[in-house]
């Protein structure tokens, strides 16, 4: 799984990783944005939460991930991006995988300081037009939510011996090489 705060570069780095290791990239943020774009009931439920920078309920993302594990065939594994994001989601993931006789291989964490998060998201806001990138107070809330609810997962994966942290400051190519060497250890 790819772990890290908003704007750390998870989505940017995912492409090279799935190609190198023959994985299926699953970003819960992207899956939710497609649901919103398609106007599904799930999308309607998620829209206001995402646009305020809050998490959607655990059960929603857990269900999406389990569906994909069942339906996607022909890959060596999955690259999870933005999931799990709470301790409850991490525990649910372990249970979903255990039912399939599988487990998390590694949690590769891309770390950048909060000031750089603001810079990168402000830059992306001009290019991609994501609703949750537009307002500084929403970005601030996403960062706070990350520190409050998601950061505890670092200790969870460290304890499991699956955590590897890399410095996300540098060019896209430099960060990619750091990720590849971290993944080679698992």
Applying CB under 5 A, which residues contact Mg ion?
10-11
The nearer residue to ligand AP5, 4 or 182, going by C-beta atoms, is: 4
Distance, in Å, from the CA atom of 9 to the CA atom of 27, rounded to the nearest integer, reads 12
10 in contact with ligand AP5 (CB under 6 A): yes
The nearer residue to ligand AP5, 106 or 110, going by C-beta atoms, is: 110
Distance, in Å, from the CA atom of 155 to the CA atom of 163, rounded to the nearest integer, reads 8
Q: Are 82 and 3 in contact (CB under 8 A)?
A: no
The listed partner (Mg ion, ligand AP5, none) that binds 35, CB under 5 to 8 Å by sort, is none
User: What is the total count of residues that contact ligand AP5 (CB under 6 A)?
Assistant: 32
Closest residue to ligand AP5, based on beta-carbon distance: 29
User: What are the CA-CA distances from residue 78 to residues 73, 75, 97, 140 (Å)?
Assistant: 10, 8, 11, 30
- Name residues contacting ligand AP5, limited to 58-117 (CB under 6 A): 61, 82-83, 85, 89
Distance, in Å, from the CA atom of 43 to the CA atom of 40, rounded to the nearest integer, reads 5
Q: So which residues are the catalytic ones?
A: 10, 85, 124, 130, 142
Gyration radius of the chain's alpha carbons: 16
- Out of 20, 99, 100, 123, the only residue in the binding site for ligand AP5 (CB under 6 A) is 123
């Amino acid at each position: 799984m790819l772990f890290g705060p908003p704007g750390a570069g998870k989505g940017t780095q995912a492409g090279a990783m799935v190609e190198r290791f023959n994985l299926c990239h699953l970003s819960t943020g992207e899956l939710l944005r497609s649901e919103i774009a398609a106007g599904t009931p799930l999308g309607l439920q998620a829209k206001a939460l995402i646009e305020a920078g809050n998490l959607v309920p655990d059960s929603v993302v857990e269900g999406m991930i389990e569906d994909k594990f069942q339906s996607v065939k022909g890959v060596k594994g999955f690259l999870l991006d933005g999931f799990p994001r709470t301790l409850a989601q991490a525990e649910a993931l372990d249970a979903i995988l255990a039912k399939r006789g599988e487990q998390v291989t590694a949690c590769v964490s891309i770390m950048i300081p909060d000031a750089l998060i603001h810079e990168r998201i402000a830059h992306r806001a001009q290019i991609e037009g994501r609703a949750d990138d537009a307002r500084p107070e929403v970005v601030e809330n996403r960062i706070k939510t990350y520190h409050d609810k998601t950061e505890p997962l670092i200790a969870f994966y460290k304890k499991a011996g699956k955590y590897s942290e890399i410095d996300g400051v540098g060019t896209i190519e430099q960060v990619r090489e750091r990720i590849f060497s971290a993944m080679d250890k698992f």
